[in-house]
Amino acid sequence: MKTQTWKLKNILLKTRKRLRRALNPNGSILVICICVIMIWRAVWDLCDLYIFPDNQLLSDIVCFIIWVWILIIYDWNLKDLL
């Protein structure tokens, strides 16, 4: 059982190394950007589904207020986002 786990870890490490070598820095940035977009899409869909699903405008306003509230709580500055 331990040898199978070790073999699987070894295969995963080799695959990750090959992928890193295959992707140049621009490719890595592209993969990261796609992942961020997918996360935002999932969050957006969850907000649309659970926060006033019948009223899109109200859902957008509430999500915006929550976003501003989080910025104020963490004392972030909008310049940090640019």
| pLDDT at site 23 | 67
- Judged by average pLDDT, the poorest of 6-15, 45-54, 68-77 is 68-77
The span from the CA of 12 to the CA of 20, in Å, is 12
Of 4 and 65, the one with more pLDDT: 65
61 pLDDT higher than 70: yes
Picking from 25, 37, 4, 30, the residue whose alpha carbon sits closest to that of residue 12 is 4
pLDDT in tens, 13-41: 888 777 777 766 677 778 788 888 888 88
Where does the pLDDT of residue 79 fall: very low under 50, low under 70, confident under 90, or very high at 90 and above?
low
The token duo for 81 is: 């986002």
